[in-house]
Amino acid sequence: MSLKHKIEKGYLIIDGAMGTYLQKSGLKLGELPEMLNFTRAELVEDIHMKYLEAGADIISTNTFGANRLKLKNSGKTVSEVVWQAVSLAHKAIDTFHEKHQGCSKSEQTANPKYVALDLGPIGQLLEPMGTLPFDEAYEIYKEQVIAGVEAGCDLFIIETQTDLLELKCAILACKEHSKLPIIATMSFEQTGRTFTGTDVASMVTLLEALEVDALGFNCSFGPAEMLPLIDRVLSLTHKPIVIQPNAGLPKQIDEITVYDTNANKYAEIMKTIVAKGVTIIGGCCGTDDSYIATLTDIVANAPERVKRERKSVTKVSSFAKTVTLGDNPVVIGERLNPTGKKRLKEALRNGEKDYILREAISQVEQGASILDLNIGLPELDEAKLMPEFIKEIQAILDVPIQIDSSSVACIEAAARSYNGKPLINSVSGKEDSLDAILPIVKRYGACVLGLTLDDEGIPSKAEDRFAIAEKIVHRAESMGIPRENVLIDCLALTASAQQEDVIETLKAIQLVKRKLGVKTVLGVSNVSFGLPKRELINKTFLTMALFSGLDAPILNPGNEEMMAAIDAYNVLVNNDVRSEIYIEKHSKVVPTNNPNPKPKSSTLDLKQVILNGLKDLAVQNTELLLETLKPMEIVDQIIIPTLNEVGQSFESGKIFLPQLIQSAETVQQAFERLKSELKNEEGPSLSRGKIVLATVHHDVHDIGKNIVKVILQNYGYDVIDLGKDVPPEVVLKACIEHDVKFVGLSALMTSTVESMAKTIRVLKAHDAEIKICVGGAVLNPEYAKMIHADFYAKDARETAWIANTFFDIKS
Amino acid sequence: MNQNNLEGILEVERIKAYVNKKEIFRYLNDRSETSSRSEYWLNMIDDVLSECLQYSKPIYASQKFDIERDLEKDEIKIIAQADQSFKSKDLMRLLGQSHQIHVVGVTLGLFLDRKIQYYMNSDATKGVIFDACASVVIEACCDYIQDRLVEQDLRLDDRLYHTNRYSPGYGDLELSTLSTFSDLIQMTKKTGIHVSEHFLMQPQKSVVFILGTSKMPFKEATLICEHKCFQCKLKSCQYRVGER
């Protein structure tokens, strides 16, 4: 029986802790355990032997931290360490077999033993919460994997992971460089989530999608504390479950760590765990061969494996949230699509990530469960930018994302670095589409949206659209993509142009649901194009589609009528039992929490509105002023002087930071209204100049920089915000691309001020005319001078003053 | 808090008493001695503080080490199990005659980092308040842990003395020592705090500190006092407490 087969069908025992043994044998804190493969080879081999004698089927190599970052100063390469570790494990197995059966591992034995290449976390946190790029993390794991395969390991154990994205990197590295089995385990807290927020459901969704051979938990706590997690994971997946708990909870007695669960107690609980359905067991911190020995009896007396049925569930996920389709309608937010949206196009062209994020947040707050993300503009490099935007969104939101693009390269790049199981929009019935998109879907375990169109276009008749849907589903299945990962969009046509075909969409949905059993998606807004009272048509069509079997409408969640139609539908089909949600949302007049309610009549002018931070009144007051003043006049005569007054109040301590920001946000609202006015007329733009802002390389602190950005935008500057952890060459590129001569750099750490100095050198070497203003808690005027910055600003207001001086002089 | 635990989840309820609301105002550039802000702002700060506490998941790891002092080299050496030494005149001065140090790593968690970014992008006014509250809450966690460690030590020997907290990056204690301290207490594994190649801690609302324990009384300058900035060389820091 092959190992893959054993993992799937049988019981297996993995070894216990390596680190615990090494510490008992003198490994000092701060010393690299992997070096003992060389300095204490016999000890490592002896530990392997102990576990083999205890009954372990799988021994893990002493390579938990054998990555290029941790081995940097060790004097050994990753390859050397991995080779040595795998060799020691093989040697132990050979010795074991010779001792017990008189034959070596290479010959057939009744009780084969396996060497698992142990892959622990890299030790650095991946972007966006950390600074390690996805591609670099992948390369780090790839190096270990290639060495392990060449050295002859039998499988991979990726363990003690707390970051789902890092785990994905490791799994891809394994899958793309071998066909060996993969066991993946994460370390959870008793909260039911990992340190990075991943819940059991999201872990399962991604690991199933990536087709690991077994999944589960290790470390953190003992078997008793793991029981709730085990119940949860068994309910979610048919995959073999792996459990490697610690020997209980740790205590420190005289500087030595001891664990509170002895081998007998451990065995008692593990027996319960096996009875629940866990089939691969071992130990982690604090365990030794005595613990593993108890597991042998448990496995020997384990009941026959109960097959858990594979759940055919359509789900997409992020790192922390799984959305299942099929129960209630799931709203996919459509607003992050530049088609017909001038402001969004402008934001994409200008790299205004904050605009994108605000739209994302707003849609989630309005009820979107999945976000569609499309950045398709001809002048943009989608393949480069889409992963960047996804990263930014996933830094603050946990909703799953629908990757929407007609660029294959974009879809590949985005799906690869996406943290979770994405939905890919889309594939069609065209052969080149099926050939290009489905392999990506398979590779990353994504869900895919199939459009019922082919080389002939969109068929009129429902039966013909169904035929395309069937083709897509069957082609996907032939490539190993499970049916539940294919969703179908039967495409809404415009009633004003193809009225007879509108009903065919609904018929097609019914056919797809009945005959294929897959979930359906539909963009409903198209149907009303060209007709008056579009909302009425859309709402009616939406309800009809839902009743026909639509699972996930793509719409604007900010449209209250459409969202209310879904609420009403849920009542009428008994999704919303006792109409509780409907009543909660629609029966009350919701009191405003705004302590600054709108006055009954607007007696305040724009200046007062800004001074008081009355964001809600900014647009209204700006519109009143536009009746008599031009946009630039409003800026020069009212906004800028008022901002100066706000700034002075802040300097004098009359107002504090939140008040400054609230006034700034109010001005932002006014500016948005003025910008939309300027789009309608010819004349000068509001921009007083362009400024590039960035938090320097290796630094991720950006709150101060963001405050500076808001203030500078208030003063009418176009701010190209490059974000955080920005390499010098990226700053330079932005300056060249946008013809910028004024740059603001922020650093909060003494360790990253050197990055600031380097950025200044790079900029000045290119163009001595570029002026650089620096700021951040660790800086002062003397240091700024030392690193050849042109200006030092202690806060946002001073930055604005410096910019004003620079641009006035320049002009 | 189990005195023998190497790591622990801190109950937010216990931290609340340590939260210094005046500090929130100081972070928000409110320089008045007692805040003269309107009820609107006072209520908003209270609400945001509650939310911040709700989303905080404070967790810490700590361990006590015996130390030796090498006066010639200005080095503190951690003995028993580790050959780690730290060169720092300022740390030597702080630790005085200390024979032990507690090393602690504590964080409010990544979820809070995300929340701060969420608000900075959706409601910046609330975002800056949230960030200020989080800075104060992590300090409160440090204060709480410090008190508990001192209590624990005094239960064992009531004649012990303790220094104030001291962190990598203070004075001449190199920021790079963060990595070493992190490894010593297995901080990443136990708390999820990562130290980047350039010594940034992630989650951002994280602190590593050292607390010295001595059988001999300290000179005045190293006693626990209210002003935590007195040894910091960043004289121009806008958040400095006490003289600049």
Most A CBs within 10 Å, among B85, B114, B116, to test the A interface = B114
Distance between CA atoms of residues A27 and A318, nearest Å: 39
A312/A320 Cα distance (integer angstroms): 21
At the second CATH level, the architecture of B7-231 is: 3-Layer(aba) Sandwich (3.40)
* Residues of chain B neighbouring A649 (CB-CB closer than 8 A): none
Q: Is the domain covering A3-300 a CATH 3.20.20.450 domain?
A: no
Mean pLDDT of chain B: 85
- Could you tell me the pLDDT band of residue B238, with boundaries at 50, 70 and 90? low
Reported as a single tens digit per residue, the pLDDT across A722-740 is: 999 999 999 999 999 999 9
- Judged by a CB distance cut-off of 8 A, whether residue A592 touches chain B is no
CB contact under 8 Å between B204 and A595, yes or no, is no
Q: Which residues of B touch A700 (CB under 8 A)?
A: 200, 202, 204
Which among A28, A162, A750 has the least Cβ separation from residue B169? A750
- Subunit contact B118:A251, Cβ cutoff 8 A: no
Q: How far B230 CA lies from chain A's nearest CA (Å)?
A: 16
Task: Give me the mean pLDDT over the A379-402 stretch.
Answer: 96
A214 contacts A280 by C-beta, under 8 angstroms: yes
Among the ranges given (A737-741, B66-70, B151-155), the one the predictor scored with the smallest mean pLDDT: B66-70
| Residue A552 near residue A316, CB atoms below 8 Å | no
- Lowest mean pLDDT across A72-76, A254-258, A761-765, B94-98: A254-258
CB contact under 8 A, A396 and B118: yes
Cα dihedral across residues A656, A659, A661, A667: positive or negative: negative
Q: What is the pLDDT of residues A555-604, one digit of tens each?
A: 999 999 999 999 999 999 999 999 999 999 998 655 555 444 444 445 67
Tokens at B188, concatenated: 């990443």
DSSP structure string for B224-240: --S-TTTT-S-TT-TT-
Q: What is the pLDDT of residues A132-141, one digit of tens each?
A: 999 999 999 9
**Regarding beta strands A58-60 and A114-119, do their DSSP bridges make them parallel or antiparallel, or are they unpaired?**
parallel
Selection from A506, A505, A516, A403 nearest residue A449 by Cα: A403
Q: Is A433 exposed, middle or buried (0-12, 13-18, 19+ CB in 10 A)?
A: buried
More confident residue, A304 or B123: B123
Residue A264's pLDDT is what?
93
CB contact under 8 A, A357 and B197: no
Task: Choose the CATH number for A687-811 among 3.40.50.280, 3.40.1800.10, 3.40.50.720, 3.40.1360.10.
Answer: 3.40.50.280
CA A280 to CA A271: how far, in whole Å?
A: 12
Known binding-site positions of A? 219, 284-285
pLDDT in tens, A493-549: 999 989 989 999 999 999 999 999 999 999 998 899 999 999 999 999 999 999 999
Q: State the pLDDT at residue A243.
A: 97
Q: For helices A263-276 and A289-300, what crossing angle results, to 10°?
A: 40
Confidence of residue A387 (pLDDT cuts 50, 70, 90): very high
Residue A306 is given by DSSP the state P
pLDDT, tens digit, 9 for 90 and up, residues A408-449: 999 999 999 999 999 999 999 999 999 999 999 999 999 999
pLDDT tens digits for A220-268?
889 999 999 999 999 999 999 999 999 988 776 665 677 888 999 999 9
Query: How many other C-beta atoms are found inside a 10 Å radius of the C-beta of residue A377?
Result: 15
Q: How far apart are CA A505 and CA A460, in angstroms?
A: 9
Q: Is the pLDDT of residue A53 over 50?
A: yes
Mean pLDDT for A280-307 is 91
- The structural domains of chain B, with segments of one domain joined by +, span 7-231
Query: How crowded is residue A754: how many other Cβ atoms within 10 Å of its Cβ?
Result: 16
First vs last Cα of chain B: how many Å apart?
A: 37
Q: In chain B, how long is the greatest CA-to-CA distance?
A: 58
**Average pLDDT for A386-414:** 97
Q: Does A253 touch chain B (CB under 8 A)?
A: yes
pLDDT over threshold 80, residue A288: yes
Confidence of residue A26 (pLDDT cuts 50, 70, 90): confident
DSSP state of A696: B
Domain boundaries in chain A?
3-300, 314-586, 598-684, 687-811
Cβ atoms < 10 Å from Cβ of A426: 23
Q: Which of B28, B37, B117 sits opposite A396 (nearest CB)?
A: B117
Chain B residues close to A252, C-beta within 8 Å: 4-6, 63-64
Residue A171 pLDDT exceeds 70: yes
Tell me which residue has tokens 């169904």: A466
pLDDT tens, residue by residue, B111-134: 999 999 999 999 999 999 999 999
**pTM, two decimal places:** 0.92
Which CATH code of 1.10.1240.10, 2.60.40.10, 3.40.50.150, 2.60.40.420 fits the domain covering A598-684?
1.10.1240.10
Q: Residue A682: is its pLDDT beyond 60? A: no
pLDDT band at B232 (very low <50, low <70, confident <90, very high): low
The verdict on a CB contact (< 8 Å) between B184 and A219 is no
Name every residue whose Cβ is closer than 8 Å to that of residue A254 and which is 6 or more positions away in sequence. Answer: none
Detail the residues of A annotated as belonging to a binding site for Zn(2+). Answer: 219, 284-285
Architecture of the CATH domain A314-586: Alpha-Beta Barrel (3.20)
| Closest residue by Cα to residue B29 from A10, A660, A68 | A660
Question: What's the whole-number average pLDDT of chain A?
Answer: 92
User: What is the reported pLDDT for B5?
Assistant: 46
Alpha carbons A363 and A343: distance in angstroms, whole number? 16
Question: Which has more pLDDT, A227 or A698?
Answer: A227
Radius of gyration, alpha carbons of chain B: 18
* Chain segment B31-53, per-residue pLDDT in tens: 765 556 888 999 999 999 999 99
The answer to whether the CB atoms of B175 and A751 lie below 8 A apart is yes
pLDDT value, residue A229: 96
Report percent pLDDT > 90 for chain A.
78
In this complex, which of B6, B176, B180 lies closest to A252 when CB atoms are compared? B6
The whole-angstrom separation of Cα A135 and Cα A173 is 11
Banded model confidence at residue B231, pLDDT cuts 50, 70, 90: low
Please tell me which residue of chain B has the smallest CA distance to A362: B122
ipTM field: 0.89
